[in-house]
Amino acid sequence: MIESLTILAGALPYLLKGSVVTIGVVFGAMSLGLLFGIALAVGQVYGAIWLKRLIGLYVWFFRGVPLLVLLFLFYFGLFSLLNINLTAFTVAVIVLGLISAAYQSQIFRGAIVSLPDGQLKAARALGMSDATAIVLIILPQALRLAIPAWSNEYSIVLKDSAVAYALGVTEIMARAHFVASRTYQHLPLYFTAGVIFLILTYAGTKALRLLEERVHIPGYSQ
Amino acid sequence: MGKRILWALALLTAVFILTNATYSMAAEKIYINGIDANFPPFAYVDKKGNADGFDVKALDWIAKEMGFKVEHKPMDWDGIIPSLRAKKIDIIASGMSITDKRKEQVNFTIPYWNIAQVIVAPKDSTATVDELLSKGNKIGVQRGTTEARWIKENLIAKGKNFSLVEYDSAPLSVEDVLNGRIKGAAMDDAPAKDAVNKKPVRIVGTFGMPSEDFGYAVRKEDSELLKKLDEGLKKLMASPYWNELKRKYNP
Amino acid sequence: MEEMLFIRTEVVPALARGIIVSIQLIIPSSALGLLVGMAVGAARVYGNRSLTFAANCYVAIFRGFPLVVQLFIWYFGLPYIGIYMTPYVAAVLGFSLCSGAYHSEYIRGAFLSIKQGQLMAAKALGFSHVGMLIHVIFPQAFRRALPGCGNEIVYLIKYSSLAYMITCIELTGEGKIIASETFKYIEIFLIIGAVYLFLTTIASWFLRRLENRLSIPGFKPFSV
């Protein structure tokens, strides 16, 4: 017991440094997913029929294949084939981001569709182009409405990022493994890794909750 | 405000991708050595989180001697050769056995270490190797290693009555030997000795697999680097530091 | 020619073996997960204070720890306190408990969506407590929870790919072993990706059919 605790205390700074890597992966993936997800959602709601089909296909693929399989496919396969040399970290960000874009697009699509139809018409009547109306009228509301679901997506991406250790990204989980290989203290190390993830989940969702209250429009609910 | 956040995010993403892309084109070439950080004493991560081990320190010495820069990067072992070929890393100096099958994929330096494969069992067990590899027992092994392939082709395929359980790393298989889920684990003798030093296990003996040589692996086209590594290895093995390394890591 | 022989004698049997193990993981885990989810969901809504508290803690931990970490704790961690499970049992337990925590969220929401008035009406009509649960609450709650729980089952199919890490070699594990021996990563992971895509598509299709089949005109399931 004492031995485990001393090893754990010694390893903690190293594990915590791993959370910087984890946060980097999650931040990159969520940003990529947000930008791409918004584009996909707008395309799926307002786009031409072929565009809708294409986006549907994208969403179907990235929601249907396990993260691990996509990581291996992209890391060992696709990028090598295209002769693009990316680090494991970048591949993890891209793959998690592409998957998250598929999920986020559905969140934003739901939010856009939930807005009353009349708004777009009113904007047109005021002489706005459709693109302006989407950017200035629809998205500001839809993004606000999407925050709760988005916060859920954050906690999923955060936990999924632990799988990236399989590529050798030195995030929290990989570091727990390395220390365990040297010290044979598997249970305390895995448990500590789990607790760090729990804290990151809690902190992130709490921050998003605050954001939700901050940008809430008085008298406006879904 | 939302729009500004979006723009900031777009900018950040772009910067992020660009910095990562240019990272590999940095002015001075730093060779990346891919290691299996779950393979003590040849390669592991020390208390401070730095790469350490026999191979790590040996390569550091060679790099200094031959005038190039090297960085060690922990990698997933059973995908390490594809990573080398895909230029994610430039060298594999991490207790890799030289085999004909691997030679089709990569080039190896001169051998620097001869290693035998052994079976590890709990300290209090009295079973012999033959007893362990029979009676439908479960034996652990690391995924993607030469011993995993050899055991499948030469023992199990020829009718030996036991089954193989495949682990992420040798230490995890030792863990399960202690847990009693498997009767024994097959691995290189160096990590086996490391386990014996740390845990109540013993080395039962070899199981008939011919001993192997470790070498550093590089891509087929990197003949220049191979030459440097070969020369460096020769110099290292002739120097007193070689014995010092052996004493320190006791592989 | 040699290539073809290799595919026939090694790749196909290994992947077939892997698919069987994957399915053996997915089916019991999703059934068990649903059961756990129903029990925990009911406890969170109808339980007394300590039961609700315990159930909430369970959900917070199992939704907060990454699944990989949970699997490693079940398999390599628990022996520290004298509990030994086979890889298969550890994987099924890990999957069920994790997805149970998620299921309980949907089921809790579904229970809460049933208005108090209905319960009073049922009591007034002379329903017993159990009878009310079975005839009034469950049929509605089940329909409301179905979309969320269905999604969770699709997630589970994908997450079953993590089992190989604790030596339960399923489809992804078999694929990884062959890929690292043959260096044919792209081909093998494309095949494996297609298999998972097939499984998740069938599961979603089936679940959607079930939803439509059970839908009652005028009864609106949540739109989340």
pLDDT of C115-131, one tens digit each? 888 888 998 999 988 88
Residue A69 pLDDT class (50, 70, 90 cuts): very high
Say what angle helices A49-64 and A2-46 make with each other, to 10 degrees: 160
| B78–C76 C-beta distance less than 8 A | no
The answer to whether residue C7 is domain-embedded is no
pLDDT of A167-177, one tens digit each? 889 899 999 98
The answer to whether residue C2 is domain-embedded is no
pTM: 0.85
Strand pairing class (B162-167; B137-142): parallel
The answer to whether residue A222 is domain-embedded is no
| Mutation to test the A interface, candidates C15, C22, C72, C188, most A Cβ within 10 Å | C72
**Measured between CB atoms, which of B167, B172, B181 is closest to C84?**
B181
Mark out chain B residues that contact chain C at CB-CB < 8 A.
78-79, 81-82, 85, 101, 105, 140, 143-144, 149, 165-168, 172, 175-176, 178-181
> Which parts of chain B register pLDDT below 50?
22, 24
A81-86: list long-range contacts, CB under 8 Å, 24+ apart.
A81/C186, A85/B24, A85/B86, A85/B87, A85/B88, A86/B20, A86/B21
Is the pLDDT confidence value at A218 over 80? no
Concatenate the DSSP letters of all residues of chain B into one string: -HHHHHHHHHHHHHHHHHHHHHHTT-SS-EEEEEE-TEETTTEEE-TTS-EESHHHHHHHHHHHHHT-EEEEEE--GGGHHHHHHTTS-SEE-SSPBP-HHHHTTSEE----EEE-EEEEEETT----HHHHTSTTEEEEEETT-HHHHHHIIIIITTT-SEEEEEESSHHHHHHHHHHTSSSEEEEEHHHHHHHHHHSSEEEEEE-SPPPEEE--EE-TT-HHHHHHHHHHHHHHHHSHHHHHHHHHH--
Q: Are A216 and A144 in contact (CB under 8 A)?
A: yes
Q: Is A8 on the interface with B (CB under 8 A)?
A: no
Is the pLDDT confidence value at A1 over 80? no
Element (H, E) at A33: helix A2-46
| A68–C161 C-beta distance less than 8 A | yes
- The lowest-confidence range among A25-34, B142-151, C14-23, C193-202 is B142-151
CATH number at residue A147: 1.10.3720.10
| B47–A11 C-beta distance less than 8 A | yes
Is the pLDDT confidence value at C223 over 50? no
- CA of B173, closest CA in chain C: separation in Å? 10
Strand pairing class (B113-115; B212-214): antiparallel
Quick one: pLDDT at residue A10? 86
Q: Are A104 and A37 in contact (CB under 8 A)?
A: yes
Residue B99 exposed, middle or buried by CB count within 10 Å (0-12, 13-18, 19+):
middle
- Distance in angstroms (rounded) separating the CA atoms of residues B226 and B229: 5
Residues near B49 by beta carbon (within 8 Å), at least 6 away in sequence: A13, A14, A17, A175
Quick one: pLDDT at residue B251? 72
Q: Are residues B96 and B85 in the same domain?
A: yes
B31: which strand partners?
B70
| Mutation to test the C interface, candidates A1, A8, A69, most C Cβ within 10 Å | A69
The answer to whether residue A220 is domain-embedded is no
ipTM given for this complex: 0.88
Which amino acid is residue C129, in one-letter code? H
Residue A197 exposed, middle or buried by CB count within 10 Å (0-12, 13-18, 19+):
buried
Beta strands in C24-108 (DSSP E): none
pLDDT of B165-223, one tens digit each? 999 889 889 989 988 889 999 999 988 998 998 889 999 999 999 999 999 999 999 99
Alpha-carbon distances, residue B105 vs A22, A78, A167, B85 (angstroms): 33, 19, 20, 8
- Distance in angstroms (rounded) separating the CA atoms of residues B187 and A114: 59
Mean pLDDT, range C81-92, rounded to an integer? 91
Say what angle helices B170-179 and A172-183 make with each other, to 10 degrees: 60
**Measured between CB atoms, which of A63, A73, A198 is closest to C64?**
A198
Q: Are residues B100 and B220 in the same domain?
A: yes
- Distance in angstroms (rounded) separating the CA atoms of residues B24 and B16: 13
B164: which strand partners?
B139
The answer to whether residue C164 is domain-embedded is yes
- Distance in angstroms (rounded) separating the CA atoms of residues B247 and B242: 9
| B88–A87 C-beta distance less than 8 A | yes
Q: Are residues B132 and B206 in the same domain?
A: yes
| Phi, psi values for residue A31, rounded to 5° | -65, -45
Which residue has 């990569």 as its token pair? B106
Total count of residues recorded for chain C: 224
- Distance in angstroms (rounded) separating the CA atoms of residues C66 and A155: 10
Cα–Cα nearest to A20, from A67, A89, A83: A89
Mean pLDDT, range A177-206, rounded to an integer? 91
Q: Are C151 and C57 in contact (CB under 8 A)?
A: no
| B24–A178 C-beta distance less than 8 A | no
Mark out chain A residues that contact chain C at CB-CB < 8 A.
60-61, 63-70, 72-73, 76-78, 81, 110, 114, 149, 155, 158-163, 165-166, 173, 186-187, 190-191, 193-194, 197-198, 201-202
Task: Reduce the DSSP state of residue A106 to 3 states and report it.
Answer: helix
In chain B, positions 43-72, which contact chain A (CB-CB < 8 Å)?
Answer: 44-49
Q: Which two tokens stand for residue A12?
A: 């903690």
Quick one: pLDDT at residue C224? 39
Strand pairing class (B117-122; B201-206): antiparallel
Beta strands in chain A (DSSP E): none
User: What's the number of domains chain A is made of?
Assistant: 1
Say what angle helices A2-46 and A186-215 make with each other, to 10 degrees: 40
In chain C, positions 111-130, which contact chain A (CB-CB < 8 Å)?
Answer: none
The range of the structural domain enclosing residue B85 comes to 2-114+213-249
Q: Which residues of C129-158 are buried (b: 16+ CB within 10 A; e: fewer)?
A: eeebbeebbbebbebbbbbbbbbbbbbbbb
Q: Which chains share 3+ C-beta pairs under 8 angstroms with C? A: A, B
Task: Reduce the DSSP state of residue A86 to 3 states and report it.
Answer: coil
pLDDT of A80-124, one tens digit each? 777 777 888 999 999 999 999 999 999 999 999 988 888 888 999
Element (H, E) at A184: none
Q: Is C203 on the interface with B (CB under 8 A)?
A: no
CATH number at residue C145: 1.10.3720.10
Cα–Cα nearest to A133, from A114, A117, A145: A117
Q: Are residues B166 and B197 in the same domain?
A: yes
Q: Is A175 on the interface with B (CB under 8 A)?
A: yes
- Distance in angstroms (rounded) separating the CA atoms of residues A74 and B206: 39
pLDDT of A4-13, one tens digit each? 888 888 889 9
Kindly report the number of other CB atoms within 10 A of residue A172's CB atom: 28
Quick one: pLDDT at residue C2? 66
Q: Are residues B230 and B196 in the same domain?
A: no
B206: which strand partners?
B118
- The lowest-confidence range among A185-189, B64-68, C89-93 is A185-189
Q: Are residues B126 and B159 in the same domain?
A: yes
Kindly report the number of other CB atoms within 10 A of residue A118's CB atom: 9
Residue A210 exposed, middle or buried by CB count within 10 Å (0-12, 13-18, 19+):
exposed
Quick one: pLDDT at residue C91? 96
Whole-number mean pLDDT of chain A? 91
pLDDT of C98-116, one tens digit each? 999 999 999 999 988 888 8
The range of the structural domain enclosing residue A14 comes to 2-215
**Measured between CB atoms, which of A77, A162, A191 is closest to C66?**
A162
Which amino acid is residue C53, in one-letter code? F
- CA of C168, closest CA in chain B: separation in Å? 8
The answer to whether residue A67 is domain-embedded is yes
User: What's the number of domains chain B is made of?
Assistant: 2
Q: Higher model confidence: residue C8 or residue B155?
A: B155
* Angle at CA of residue C11, ends C5 and C17, nearest 5°: 135
| A64–C196 C-beta distance less than 8 A | yes
| Phi, psi values for residue A169, rounded to 5° | -70, 125
Say what angle helices C138-159 and C12-46 make with each other, to 10 degrees: 140
Is the pLDDT confidence value at C4 over 80? no
CATH number at residue B147: 3.40.190.10
Q: Are residues B192 and B230 in the same domain?
A: no
In chain A, positions 95-134, which contact chain B (CB-CB < 8 Å)?
Answer: none
The range of the structural domain enclosing residue C32 comes to 13-214
